[in-house]
Amino acid sequence: MFNKKIYYYLLIFFLGGISSFSLPPYNFFIINFFSFSLFLAILFFLKEKKVPLIHFFFIGLVFGYSFFLFSLYWISNSLKFDHNLSFLIPITIFGLPLLLSLFYGLASLCTFFWIKNDYKVCIVFAFFLSLFEYLRSILFTGFPWNLIVYSWSGFLEQLQILKYIGTYTLNFLSILIFSSFFLNFIKFKIQKFLINISIILLVLLANYIFGYRSLLKKDLVHDSDFNIKIIQPNISIVDTWGLENQEKNILKLISLSKSSENKKTIFIWPEGMIQHSTLNGIKKYQNVFLKNFKLNDRIIVGVTNPEFLNNKSIFFNSLIILNNNADILQVYNKINLVPFGEFIPFEDIISKYGLKKVTFGYGSFSKGDKRNSISIGNLNFLPLICYEIIFSGKLNPDKENFSFIINISEDAWFGNTIGPYQHLAHAVFRAVEEGKFIYRSTNKGISAIVNDKGQILYKIPLNKEGFIESKLLLGSKNTFFSKYNNNIFYFILLLNVIFLIFFFNKKNYKI
């Protein structure tokens, strides 16, 4: 029996691996119809063979492990810049996928109890897998990266429904659609096959038509009094650290900015460009700012922000707004910190073993209190630093009115890998959900302007120096999701699915 089961494990490992190519930047979503349906078919066959329950957990674990192994390997690139952390590279490559795959294992285990030869198992499978995908997005600070729904990243027509239902609901529907192909593998009948394929195509076609019409619709886009200029300096990550590099980098950013005489402009510089000056110390750049910027210009930049609180030095990863006099007008302290990248969990214990956060310096960043919109003139924008863009439904919990989103990031940590492309895909999803333009500046790429429908209007390629200059454009209105939803729709859907599962179970309907 062992020899037979090993083939199932080898097949499931292969399916998880190829499914990773459905994600950005590849977007071969068609793979998921086979990988997730065969995943479910393997669970079905194993239950028929009455294998021990623990194998259902390990089948899900192996699928998830392979899926994350091939889609998140790039995170290890961030450990190459500090030789003290290089020993962690194998742990990152193999350990993180193992941790995330536990959620797939639990989803597979829960599905076991409902496996029968009917369509209900597809609904149950989508229910549990999407639920555990949601849980990994919120537990232990959350890591909602590479949800299955991001397979649609290259197909904007399929994403327009996000403005009503949000990412987690579409994630459930995507799993359901992908896994429903499973019915064709069980007691194949041509009539059942044609009905199943027809339903899948009709659902996808209906959503495509809705999305296509939404993209064609000429929504009102408002101009503003400002121009916007996004800077991508393409500075080596090791050259962003050190006091000797700071002034050189600021001069490079200013040279790329080139303020216009007759236009007031918002300049967006990337995350972490000023790391060795206190907020008061930034004033030493007053003369160079006065020479290069106008009175009404505003400069947005990411800084390391040291503060002294309760006789202790603490540090924030912050976004600040400067005027042409190098005065600090507004400060936002990042609230969603990257585990091990910006802070060490249980730092008092772990630091004894010589471990530190990935970013330069030994101490962890402190977490900001709250994210509020920031005013520039008569406009408000929502500040998001780096991976804060990935949290669907949590960008604006207080439902503040804002006009656009500014996202600054430092993706140079991930080199020439697929990571920056995946990060940009999150910005596309958030733009559609919130119905807002996103203006995104990164050091080495990919900087972009994404409109309120998720269309990338302009971008600077990975590892290129340059800038994007445009009129500051604003979307016409808030979306249903941004005003009312915040994933409530997803929870309502789950409750209805639970009702339907038990209802049809009682009726014992079958295909």
Q: Which strand ranges, in their side-by-side order, compose the sheet holding 227-232?
A: 328-333, 312-322, 298-309, 265-268, 227-232, 466-471
Q: Same domain for 212 and 289?
A: no
Q: Same domain for 184 and 237?
A: no
Domain count, the chain: 2
Q: Same domain for 278 and 179?
A: no
Whether 310 maps to a domain, the answer reads yes
Q: Same domain for 280 and 362?
A: yes
The pLDDT-based confidence of 362 (bands split at 50, 70, 90) is very low
If one counts every other C-beta atom within 10 angstroms of the C-beta of residue 77, the result is 18
Q: How far apart are CA 428 and CA 407, in angstroms?
A: 12
The whole-number average pLDDT for the span 372-388 is 91
Whether 480 maps to a domain, the answer reads no
Whether 340 maps to a domain, the answer reads yes
Whether 96 maps to a domain, the answer reads yes
Q: Has residue 310 got a pLDDT over 70?
A: no
Structure confidence at residue 243 (pLDDT): 77
Q: Same domain for 205 and 255?
A: no
Structure confidence at residue 319 (pLDDT): 95
The pLDDT-based confidence of 276 (bands split at 50, 70, 90) is confident
Of 60-74, 336-350, 386-400, minimum mean pLDDT range: 336-350
CATH number at residue 442: 3.60.110.10
Q: How far apart are CA 414 and CA 269, in angstroms?
A: 19
Whether 390 maps to a domain, the answer reads yes
Q: Has residue 367 got a pLDDT over 50?
A: yes
Q: Same domain for 180 and 77?
A: yes
Structure confidence at residue 511 (pLDDT): 39
Q: Same domain for 355 and 378?
A: yes
Q: Same domain for 397 and 447?
A: yes
The pLDDT-based confidence of 1 (bands split at 50, 70, 90) is very low
Q: Same domain for 165 and 267?
A: no
**Contact criterion met (CB below 8 Å) for 36 and 60:** no
The mean pLDDT of the chain is: 87
Whether 352 maps to a domain, the answer reads yes
Q: Which strand ranges, in their side-by-side order, compose the sheet holding 379-385?
A: 374-376, 379-385, 404-409, 438-442, 447-450, 456-460
Whether 123 maps to a domain, the answer reads yes
Structure confidence at residue 431 (pLDDT): 96
The pLDDT-based confidence of 348 (bands split at 50, 70, 90) is low
Q: What is the pLDDT of residues 12-49, one digit of tens each?
A: 999 999 999 999 999 999 999 999 999 999 998 888 88
Tokens of 3: 């020899």
**Domain extent at residue 351:** 227-475
Whether 222 maps to a domain, the answer reads no
Q: Has residue 509 got a pLDDT over 50?
A: no
107 class by beta-carbon count within 10 Å (0-12 exposed, 13-18 middle, 19+ buried): buried
Q: Has residue 185 got a pLDDT over 90?
A: no
Residues 6+ away with beta carbon under 8 Å from 99: none
Structure confidence at residue 88 (pLDDT): 77
Q: Has residue 466 got a pLDDT over 90?
A: yes
Q: How far apart are CA 328 and CA 103, in angstroms?
A: 44
The whole-number average pLDDT for the span 321-335 is 93
Q: Same domain for 167 and 238?
A: no
Structure confidence at residue 56 (pLDDT): 94
Q: Same domain for 147 and 296?
A: no
106 class by beta-carbon count within 10 Å (0-12 exposed, 13-18 middle, 19+ buried): buried
Structure confidence at residue 451 (pLDDT): 94
227 phi/psi in degrees, rounded to 5: -90, 165
Residue 42 corresponds to which amino acid? Answer: I
Sign of the C-alpha dihedral computed for residues 188, 194, 198 and 199 taken in this order: negative
Residues 6+ away with beta carbon under 8 Å from 311: none
Q: What is the pLDDT of residues 166-176, one digit of tens each?
A: 999 999 999 99
Residue 314 corresponds to which amino acid? Answer: I
**Contact criterion met (CB below 8 Å) for 467 and 143:** no
Q: Same domain for 104 and 235?
A: no
